[in-house]
Structure 1
């Protein structure tokens, strides 16, 4: 009669404690591996959706520095589009006015022609006997503007000229008369009012370009009216 064992080894139906421990240990290991795998997948998934740092240049907000100070946003340099003004002078508009050819004409006729053109004149007399124009400055044909003074060089000396009597005239009237007669007016006490005195007096024979002083408004003192020796 046998007891169900063969050579002292347990049979197939034996459920000893060693087999139970093996089953429990394997199950615990499987559960632990499942937990670790799930945790690793969650970490990887979280890394993929985590937003990166936002650039301060894109948001326009200042970025804090390591010292705690807030640095202002940097502005982009603006290209310099200003143009440098040209140093070359702009050409003046042509007026079509030129110095007439006055060479050979009588100096009084030359003066009237310049007056009609709106130009000034300055008579410069020589030492001869001729009253004709020797040259002009600017030269004939030179473009000029109205009001420019043209120097008239006369070949001969200044001819005699009688000083007009200006007493009682307004200062402006006396000035115009002196200029027309070829004299150079001077105003010791201004140009307002009527002429109360003049030097030299009317009727004195002088020469073209001589200076005539006229006192307007207030008569001159005795010392001022006396010509210097």
Structure 2
């Protein structure tokens, strides 16, 4: 008689020693695989990069290298030296050395010669008295002036009488000089070049200083 199997193998209810070993070995392999995978994941999650010392010797992270640029090489700019010269204001007017002479108290004809010698013009303003002396001038004595300006001379007395000279046939420039010397004021209705062909008032007329005498100059 057999023990319940047809081919001599143990039945389902009989757990042989070989079957037990196979099952136990398989479970152990599965557990080892699970434990190994879990350990590897844990080890992988806890892994940190090795610490390196920073440039200052501490344990902090090493900063990434930044590109450095150097300024272009050139000549150094010298420091501005302090100026020892103070800025000047408006340049002073250059003096000419010419001043109005002191004419007060002089006879007005003498005053005229003083002004003429200095290259200055004159204009007489006569009063009503009998004195021919100068009372004041404008500009006043000592004032710096330029050559050619006119000085107004205030005379205490009235303008004295004067006789108009004969100017017909004279050169226009010469006639002008004669009138100025005689104390008259020349006018030129037809210009200042040529020969005097007419005059007004005529020669021999008695006038006064500063009276106007007209002369017509041109071709004879």
Q: TM-score, normalised to structure 1's length?
A: 0.59
CA 1:196–1:89: 2 relative to 1, 3 Å: farther
Write the distance in 1 (CA, Å) between the matches of 2:202 and 2:156: 29
Equivalent residue runs for 1:157-168 within 5 Å = 157-168=158-169
Partner Cα separation in structure 2 for residue 215 and residue 123 of structure 1: 25
Determine helix, strand or coil for the equivalent of 2:189.
coil
Residue segments in structure 2 that go unaligned for 5+ positions in a row: 1-15, 50-62, 68-87
- Distance, in Å, in 2 between the alignment partners of 1:166 and 1:20 is 157
1:140 aligns to 2:150 (yes or no): no
Q: Does structure 1 residue 111 correspond to structure 2 residue 109?
A: no
Q: Give the root-mean-square deviation of aligned CA atoms.
A: 3.9
Q: How many angstroms apart in 2 are the aligned matches of 1:15 and 1:142?
A: 139
Number of residue pairs aligned between Structure 1 and Structure 2? 171
Contact 1:128–1:155, Cα closer than 8 Å, also in 2: yes
What is the CA deviation profile of residues 42-100 of structure 1, one whole-angstrom value per residue up to 9, with x for unaligned ones? Answer: xxxxxx65979xxxxxxxxxxxxxxxxxxxxxxxxxxxxxxxxx9x9754233333222
What is the aligned partner in structure 2 of residue 124 from structure 1?
A: 125
**Candidates 18, 35, 45, aligned match of 2:27:** 18
Deviation at 1:29, TM superposition (A): 6.3
* 2:155 pairs with 1:154: yes
Look up the match of 1:30. 40
Secondary structure of 2:129's counterpart equals coil
Unaligned runs of 5+ residues in structure 1 are: 40-47, 53-85, 220-229
Q: 1:15 to 1:164 in 2, by over 3 A?
A: farther
Asked if structure 2 preserves the Cα contact closer than 8 Å seen for 1:189 and 1:218, the reply is no
Structure 1 residues 144 and 18: alpha-carbon distance in aligned structure 2, compared to 1, 3 A threshold = same
Query: Could you tell me the TM-score, scaled by structure 2's length?
Result: 0.61
